[in-house]
Amino acid sequence: MKYTNTKERIEISQLENLFRFGEKKKQDFKTGIEYERIPINIKNGHNTQYYDCCGILNLLNKIAHNENWQYITDTTNGNVLGLRKLEDTITLEPGCQIELSIKPENKISKLEEKINNLDSMFEKYMRENGVQLLNCGISPLSTQNNIHLLPKSRYHLMARYMWGILSDVMMRETAGIQCCIDFESEEDMSEKFKTANRLTPFMTAMFANSPIRGGVETGYKSFRALSWLYTDNERCGFAYDFNRDFTYKKYIEKVLNVPMIFITRGCENIKINGRINFKEFIQNGFSTFDATIEDFKLHANLYFPEVRLREFIEIRNHDCVSKNLMFAIPAIYKGILYKKSARDDINNLLKKFKAEDFEDLRYSVPKMALEAPIGRYKACDISKEIIKIAEKSLIENKEGEEKYLANLKKLTFNNLCPADVVLKNFKGDVRKILFENLV
């Protein structure tokens, strides 16, 4: 079949406008959160899957019919992929991990209230279906070999293409928490983006919470973070070159040079499988197709750096943790990234380290978490200072949001991450991870 484009061919210069569109006034800044959790069968502790008798599809159908949520479906096959109500969504990740994407708010308490309300709504239907949502970064029992991929066409294309030895682990087994931050201008974006990238390995260490996989200790405190190291190095890692300035154009250059997986035309996905990158697509087209803005948006969403630029800054590198800890994630980023004095304090704290120090830390944190070395220090030494800077900023804001750091402080200031607590109490009994809130 020959396709014709209905949109004009794009030029590279147009792409910057996609990010400029996200610029907001300071008084309109908000903080967003995306919260992934692994659903398990209460009877056996293994992952609940899409087509199970009381599985995820059945669960979504009940919520849609009884709570007036709208379906989100796959445009290519019509399968139910999630639910939407106003600006909040419940979506499914490749291994049927359930993700809550909450409308960004100016106060963390509003995010907390919304998540608590959604969880209360969820609980009834979860109980009926014999399902429980876990607050950890990886499935403690089920592994990639017995977790079916969600029947979403793009996930199957991604799974066949991504070449890292742990890409299937990342897709099917893991769950994380992402935070979204606004920016005012290109300069403001650049400062926040650079600071966020420098923070990421320390944040991964503080929230490491995936030490048990397949029912046994893995030797890693964040197996989730390890899986991202070995997913697809052409589209993962740092999007920011620590030795250069950063602009919209430089981010776009990164995205343009990433190999393409597929494009969509109508209800069909057209496989590209890395034969060209997006720059080549713009210059030469692919088969009968020319590049469109929608193609770029899709391609940019298939780029998975630690910090990703959209109409906001998306920070993606945290294991799922319990609600006792999760709101410390937006609290730290809000306290630091939304106040220039706090960003300056962070940059002064971290200026002693070279670009390769951050890269090395990213590779050592999955195993060692807060004990990972960076220069003459350990990650825990720097993480404590990061918390202090965020706390000082939040106190100055006079909104009381420093309270969200209290439980994290108890851990970090004792050189502990959630995985350390799990490992101390595990003793070979996976039920402690499945059914007890250890942190």
Q: What is the pLDDT along the chain (439 residues), one digit of tens a residue?
A: 344 444 456 877 789 999 999 999 999 999 999 999 999 999 999 999 999 999 999 999 999 999 999 999 998 889 999 999 998 999 999 999 999 998 999 999 999 999 999 999 999 999 999 999 999 999 999 999 999 999 999 999 999 999 999 999 999 999 999 999 999 999 999 999 999 999 999 999 999 999 999 999 999 999 999 999 999 999 999 999 998 899 999 999 999 999 999 999 988 999 999 999 999 999 999 999 999 999 999 999 999 999 999 999 999 999 999 999 999 999 999 999 999 999 999 999 999 999 999 999 999 999 999 999 999 999 999 999 999 999 999 999 999 999 999 999 999 999 999 999 999 999 888 887 887 766 7
- The whole-angstrom separation of Cα 364 and Cα 353 is 15
Q: What is the CATH number of domain 12-435?
A: 3.30.590.20
The size of the chain, in residues, is: 439
Residue 119 φ then ψ, to 5°: -65, -40
**Kind and range of the H or E run holding 17:** helix 16-20
Q: Identify the burial level of 233 via C-beta atoms within 10 angstroms of its C-beta, where 0-12 means exposed, 13-18 middle and 19 or more buried.
A: exposed
Q: For the chain, report the end-to-end CA distance as a whole number of angstroms.
A: 55
Rounded to the nearest 10 degrees, what angle do helices 56-67 and 108-129 cross at?
Answer: 120
> Which residue, chain included where needed, has tokens 């590209």?
272
**Kind and range of the H or E run holding 208:** none
> Which residue, chain included where needed, has tokens 């599809």?
57
> Which residue, chain included where needed, has tokens 């109409």?
311
Alpha helices in 338-437 (DSSP H): 340-350, 355-368, 379-397, 406-412, 418-426, 431-435
Q: Record the pTM.
A: 0.95
Instruction: Supply the DSSP symbol for 240.
Output: S
3-state helix, strand, coil in the chain (%, to 5): 45, 20, 35
